């Protein structure tokens, strides 16, 4: 018999599942091309889930349910809350874009978005290998369908096929790695896996073999080098609203499963997976920043930007354990969590401007399409400038403090190799600043290519303005969010 505590731990997921089904049924009865009813219903459902997760997180309690297969803890609750908020902003930005391109004729955009949030929530709350994999597959399958949502668009269809093939490969790597760990430990429960690995009685070679495949699968999901090939292609080929769906909230769920699998389950093998993460981080920072310089397509450039930003997240994840000592773990993992949140918030505002500038017959995907934006709309140019400065790590914006916190975690380790990594990350950030500043130069110093005015629905203008303001305000006053991340990590990991 399933106890009441089990149901309490998955109330948000139950709400998501019920509302996703309701929205799918409502879509069958709606004939409006803009899907106003389902749009409002989706935002309300996501808002309720965000509120529930926020209440759970503020309580600071850790609940286990369904035979320890799911966990509701502060870190997971806050990440799930931010996932719901990020998806709300994404749908606000993307609704006019989708309506103009016939992507909502059948209403699949909102239904699939709800199921993708459900997949992310299951990933975040998973305390069992199979539960995490179930959530991951739900997210990836809905993502494939979203990329192919413009059925008459050849480029989007090609991107969907690429994503399907590479995503299936990544899932296979991860599943194979999980099966190796299961074969060695005899358990799918993350806490039991930790106990078995920590006992020291298992064959180390088998465990490391499994860890290699797990890190490979996680590298694909994060878009880290050398498993990054899908990121720029999918960002460029997918409809812009879908590019944002893939670029934003899923990175939080990917961070969550890195913590669940590598830290909560395989921490005794940290000396092994830290070396792998270091290689991924170095490659991501190098390739992401250098190759982005030559890009002219803005979405593709943001794809390489994502690769470089994930390099910093990996640096934070790898600096939690130093020579078997976990004293710096809370600082390192909370810095990585803060960086992931900063990345998502900044990505939302950058893609929000692209979606706002796009109109029927004009995608606004090239960097040159932003020419003279300041003369047409100083507000939107300001929001984009704030986003680019934040990505570049220029104070006093969020991105600066996110980079600083990760670098502090590296340097505080005292290891010469980690200090060298911090220096390398700074150099790569300086190189990366070039292509971010180039966007600002185009907006403020190039003549506009058209005299057309920019119009946007009220909800888009409000959310975009709030989004840009948050990137600035949380940069000037980063302490609150940093403290929230630190407290969530400490309460979850007990470090």
Among 209, 208, 206, 181, which Cα is nearest to 195's? 181
pLDDT of residue 115: 93
Q: How much of the chain, in percent, has pLDDT values that exceed 70?
A: 95
Cα distances from 70 to residues 114, 363, 493, in angstroms, run 20, 42, 15
Rounded-to-integer distance, Cα 74 and Cα 72, Å: 7
Whether residue 176 has pLDDT greater than 90: yes
Nearest to 236 by CA among 160, 139, 143: 160
In angstroms, the CA 119 to CA 123 distance is 6
The residue assigned the tokens 């106990």 is: 195
Q: pLDDT: is 97 or 279 the higher one?
A: 279
Q: What pLDDT digit, counting tens, does each position of 267-301 carry? A: 888 888 999 999 999 999 999 999 999 898 999 99
Contact between 427 and 357 (Cβ < 8 Å): no
**In the prediction, which pLDDT does 1 show?**
35
Q: What is the mean pLDDT of residues 61-72?
A: 86
Q: Are 233 and 159 in contact (CB under 8 A)?
A: yes
- Arithmetic mean of pLDDT, 61-81: 89
Tell me the pTM.
0.94
Residue 326 in this model has a pLDDT that exceeds 70: no
| pLDDT, tens only, 134-171 | 999 999 999 999 998 887 778 888 888 889 988 888 89
How far apart are alpha carbons 197 and 218 in whole angstroms? 20
Across the range 19-23, mean pLDDT stands at 85
| Overall average pLDDT of the 86-100 stretch | 89
What is the C-alpha separation between 138 and 112, in angstroms, rounded?
10
Mean local confidence (pLDDT), 260-272 = 90
Q: Are 127 and 59 in contact, with CB atoms under 8 Å apart? A: no
pLDDT confidence of residue 324: 57
Mean pLDDT lowest for which of 153-157, 180-184, 272-276, 398-402?
Answer: 153-157
Place of tokens 């949140």: 341
Q: Are 191 and 264 in contact (CB under 8 A)?
A: yes
Identify the pLDDT of residue 30: 65
Q: What is the pLDDT of residues 365-389, one digit of tens each?
A: 888 888 888 888 889 999 999 999 9
Q: Mean per-residue pLDDT for 405-425?
A: 90
Task: Please say if the pLDDT value at position 181 is more than 90.
Answer: yes
CA distances (Å), 224 to each of 44, 266, 312, 336, in order? 34, 20, 10, 15
Would you say residue 328 has pLDDT above 90? no
Q: What are phi and psi of 225, to 5 degrees?
A: -70, 135
Place 323 in a pLDDT band, splitting at 50, 70 and 90. low
| Cβ-proximal residues to 96 (8 Å cutoff; 6+ apart), any chain | 355, 456, 457, 460
The Cβ of residue 486 has, within 10 Å, a number of other Cβ atoms equal to 18
Tokens of 263: 């830290």
pLDDT of residue 364: 79
Which of the four pLDDT bands, split at 50, 70 and 90, describes residue 66? confident
Average pLDDT, stretch 77-106?
Answer: 87
Residue (of 389, 394, 255, 398) closest to 313 by Cα position: 255
Helix (H), strand (E), coil (C) string for the chain: CCCHHHHHHCHHHHHHHHHHHHHHHHHHHCCCCCCHHHHHHHHHHHHHHHHHHHHHHHHCCCEEECCCCEEECHHHHHHHHHHHHHHHHHHHHHHHHHHHCCCCCCCHHHHHHHHHHHHHHHHHHECEHHHHHHHHHHHHHHHHHHHCCCCCCHHHHHHHHHHHHHHHHHHHHHHHHHHHHHHHHCCCEHHHHHHHHHCCCCCHHHHHHHHHHHHHHHHHHHCCCCCCCHHHHHHHHCCHHHHHHHHCCHHHHHHHHHHHHHHHHCHHHHHHHHHHHHHHHHHHHHHHHHHHCCCCEHHHHHHHHHHHHHHHHHHHHHCCCECCECCCHHHHHHHHHHHHHHHHHHHHHHHHHHHHHCECCECCCEHHHHCCHHHHCHHHHHHHHHHHHHHHCCCCCHHHHHHHHHHHHHHCCCCHHHHHHHHHHHHHHHHHHHHHHHHHHHHHHCCCCCCCCCCCCHHHHHHHHHHHHHHHHHHHCCHHHHHHHHHHHHHHHCC
Residues with Cβ within 8 Å of residue 61, at least 6 apart in sequence: 72, 73
Q: How far apart, in whole angstroms, are the C-alpha atoms of residue 184 and residue 180? A: 6
Q: Is the pLDDT of residue 33 over 60?
A: no
- pLDDT more than 90, % of the chain: 53
Q: What is the pLDDT of residue 376?
A: 85
What mean pLDDT is predicted for residues 353-368?
Answer: 82
Higher model confidence: residue 200 or residue 343? 343
* Distance between start and end Cα atoms, the chain: 34
Please report the pLDDT score of residue 107 as a whole number: 66
Q: What is the mean pLDDT of the chain?
A: 88
| Mean pLDDT of the 462-485 span | 92
For 379, residues 6+ apart whose C-beta sits below 8 A from its C-beta are 465
Alpha-carbon gap, residue 270 to 255, rounded angstroms = 16
């Amino acid at each position: 018999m399933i106890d009441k505590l089990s149901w309490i731990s998955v109330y948000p997921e139950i709400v998501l599942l019920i509302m996703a089904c309701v929205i799918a049924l409502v879509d069958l009865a709606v004939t409006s091309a803009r899907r106003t009813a389902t749009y409002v219903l989706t935002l309300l459902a996501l808002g309720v889930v965000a509120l529930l997760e926020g209440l759970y997180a503020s309580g600071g309690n850790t609940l286990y349910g369904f035979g320890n297969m799911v966990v509701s803890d502060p870190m997971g609750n806050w990440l799930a809350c931010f996932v719901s908020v990020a998806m709300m902003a994404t749908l606000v930005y993307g609704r006019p874009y989708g309506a103009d391109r016939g992507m909502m004729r059948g209403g699949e955009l909102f239904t699939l978005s709800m199921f993708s949030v459900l997949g992310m929530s299951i990933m975040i709350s998973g305390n069992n290998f199979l539960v995490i994999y179930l959530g991951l597959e739900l997210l990836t399958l809905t993502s494939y369908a979203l990329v192919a949502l413009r059925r008459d668009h050849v480029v989007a269809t090609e991107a969907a096929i690429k994503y399907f093939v590479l995503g299936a490969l990544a899932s296979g790597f991860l599943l194979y790695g999980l099966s190796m760990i299961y074969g060695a430990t005899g358990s799918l429960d993350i806490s039991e896996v930790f106990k078995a690995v920590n006992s020291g009685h298992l064959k180390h070679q088998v465990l490391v073999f499994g860890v290699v495949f797990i890190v490979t699968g996680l590298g694909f999901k994060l878009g880290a080098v050398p498993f990054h090939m899908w990121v720029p292609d999918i960002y460029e080929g997918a409809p812009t609203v879908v590019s944002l769906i893939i670029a934003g909230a899923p990175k939080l769920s990917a961070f969550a499963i890195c913590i669940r699998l590598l830290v909560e389950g395989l921490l005794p093998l940290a000396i092994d997976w830290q070396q792998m993460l270091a290689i991924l981080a170095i490659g991501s920072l190098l390739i992401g920043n250098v190759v982005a310089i030559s890009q002219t397509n803005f979405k593709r450039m943001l794809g390489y930007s994502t690769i470089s930003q994930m390099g910093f997240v990996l640096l934070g994840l790898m600096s939690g354990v130093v020579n078997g000592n976990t004293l710096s773990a809370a600082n390192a993992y909370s810095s990585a969590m803060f960086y992931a949140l900063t990345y998502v918030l900044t990505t939302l505002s950058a893609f929000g401007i692209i979606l706002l500038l796009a109109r029927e017959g004009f995608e606004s995907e090239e960097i040159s399409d932003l020419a003279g934006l300041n003369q047409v709309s100083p507000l939107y140019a300001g929001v984009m400038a704030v986003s680019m400065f934040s990505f570049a790590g220029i104070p006093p914006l969020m991105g600066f403090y996110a980079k600083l916190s990760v670098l502090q975690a590296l340097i505080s380790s005292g290891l010469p190799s980690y200090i060298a990594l911090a220096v390398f990350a700074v150099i790569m950030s300086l190189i990366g600043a070039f292509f971010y500043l180039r966007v600002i130069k185009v907006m403020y110093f190039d003549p506009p290519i058209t005299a057309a005015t920019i119009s946007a629905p009220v909800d888009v203008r409000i959310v975009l303005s709030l989004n840009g303001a948050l990137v600035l305000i949380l940069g000037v006053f980063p302490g609150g969010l940093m403290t929230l991340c630190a407290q969530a990590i400490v309460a979850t990991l007990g470090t």
